[in-house]
């Protein structure tokens, strides 16, 4: 298929390589010249604008930071995308925004899928992401050959917005766990438990999780270089909290988690890795 990919950063670049590996033609665009340079030497056609990238595409994938960037990019590509094409947004946003975008593109006879992903950079590199899709079943089936290039588990969840609803459920669970985990480590620091010992014991206990064990070395070195930023965690928790409020669900734990992330971001850790919640917790006065 002829594929356009808008956004080739930490997640998008490995997704691009896996799409090419499966034999699809790829046009790529990113606002960052450095990000585009990472595709030098590949068979991707590097484009000067998002509109240029999507003109001949059968399916357009977007990988963007959040709602503002999604709105901006969709407004740019809407006039250029061909009738009959599919736009599949792999970003995380609100179900409401996904439904609004689906309605806009439907007016142009373009199918819109919200197709957020889970599995982190490692999953993007290996092509083992979980893809959660909301939208028309017929469009989903047409998109599967491309979505399967980036993900090992591709699921149709339901109508427009259902993919992002599922992703926000995942994020509210994961980010809440991360926040509690880092508070636990901060308490271990206070009690004088050696961090290497604490991590070793936690890692073999019921509190251990493989996805966080990958960060143990970063924790021991206090390496705050981001695999996933605090700001993105805050964005997802805020969206999850708002969705809970819309559905009249009293999500006490999610609200508390969002507050912890907000305080960490305000303490200067917005662009740092999630493990920075430990630092922010230690620094706050009770």
Tens place of pLDDT per residue across the chain (286 aa): 999 999 999 999 999 999 999 999 999 999 999 999 999 889 999 999 999 999 999 999 999 999 999 999 999 999 999 999 999 999 999 999 999 999 999 999 999 999 999 999 999 999 999 999 999 999 999 999 999 999 999 999 999 999 999 999 999 999 999 999 999 999 999 999 999 999 999 999 999 988 899 999 999 999 999 999 999 999 999 999 999 999 999 999 999 999 999 999 999 999 999 999 999 999 998 7
* From 21, 126, 167, 248, active-site residue: 167
CATH code linked to domain 165-283: 1.10.1040.10
Look-up of token digits 């620091």: 189
- Determine contact, residues 263/220, Cβ cutoff 8 Å: no
- Give the residue extent of every domain in the chain: 2-159, 165-283
Calpha distance 96→36 (Å, rounded): 31
Three-state DSSP class for residue 31: coil
Residue 5, H or E segment? strand 2-6
DSSP state of 82: P
Three-state DSSP class for residue 36: helix
Calpha distance 12→28 (Å, rounded): 10
Calpha distance 31→26 (Å, rounded): 17
Asked, colleague to colleague, whether 2-159 and 165-283 share their fold, the answer is no
- The crossing angle, in degrees rounded to 10, of helices 162-191 and 252-264 is 70
167 is catalytic: yes
Look-up of token digits 């970003």: 91
Q: How far is CA 131 from the centre of its chain?
A: 10
Helix, strand, coil share (%) of the chain residues, nearest 5: 55, 15, 30
Structure tokens at 130: 């979980």
Q: Read off the pTM.
A: 0.94
In our burial notation (b when 16+ CB lie closer than 10 A, e otherwise), range 59-91 reads bbbbbbbbbebbeebbebbbebbeeebbbbbbb
Calpha distance 280→54 (Å, rounded): 42
What homologous superfamily does CATH list for 2-159? NAD(P)-binding Rossmann-like Domain (3.40.50.720)
Three-state DSSP class for residue 203: helix
């Amino acid at each position: 298929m002829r594929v356009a990919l808008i956004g080739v950063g930490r997640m998008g670049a490995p997704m691009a390589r896996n799409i090419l590996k499966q034999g699809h033609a790829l046009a790529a665009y990113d606002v960052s010249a450095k990000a585009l340079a990472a595709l030098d030497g590949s068979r991707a056609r590097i484009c000067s604008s998002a509109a240029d990238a999507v003109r001949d595409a059968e399916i357009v994938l977007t990988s963007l930071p959040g709602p503002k960037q999604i709105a901006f990019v969709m407004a740019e590509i809407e006039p250029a995308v061909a009738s009959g094409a599919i736009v599949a947004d792999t970003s995380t946003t609100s179900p409401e925004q996904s439904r609004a975008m689906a309605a806009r593109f439907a007016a142009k006879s373009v199918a819109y899928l919200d197709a957020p992903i889970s599995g982190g950079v490692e999953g993007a590199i290996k092509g083992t992401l979980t893809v959660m899709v909301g939208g028309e079943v017929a469009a989903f089936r047409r998109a599967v050959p491309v979505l399967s290039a980036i993900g090992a588990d591709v699921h149709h969840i339901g109508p427009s917005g259902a993919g992002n609803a599922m992703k926000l459920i995942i994020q509210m669970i994961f980010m809440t766990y991360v926040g509690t985990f880092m508070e636990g480590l901060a308490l271990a620091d206070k009690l004088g438990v050696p961090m290497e010992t604490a991590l070793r014991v936690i890692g073999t206990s019921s509190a251990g999780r493989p996805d966080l064990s990958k960060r143990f070395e970063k924790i021991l070195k206090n390496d705050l270089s981001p695999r996933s930023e605090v700001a993105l965690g805050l964005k997802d928790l805020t969206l999850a909290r708002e969705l809970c409020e819309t559905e009249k669900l009293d999500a006490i734990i999610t609200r508390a988690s969002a507050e912890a992330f907000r305080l960490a971001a305000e303490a200067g850790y917005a662009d740092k890795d999630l493990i920075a919640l430990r630092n922010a917790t230690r620094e706050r006065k009770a």
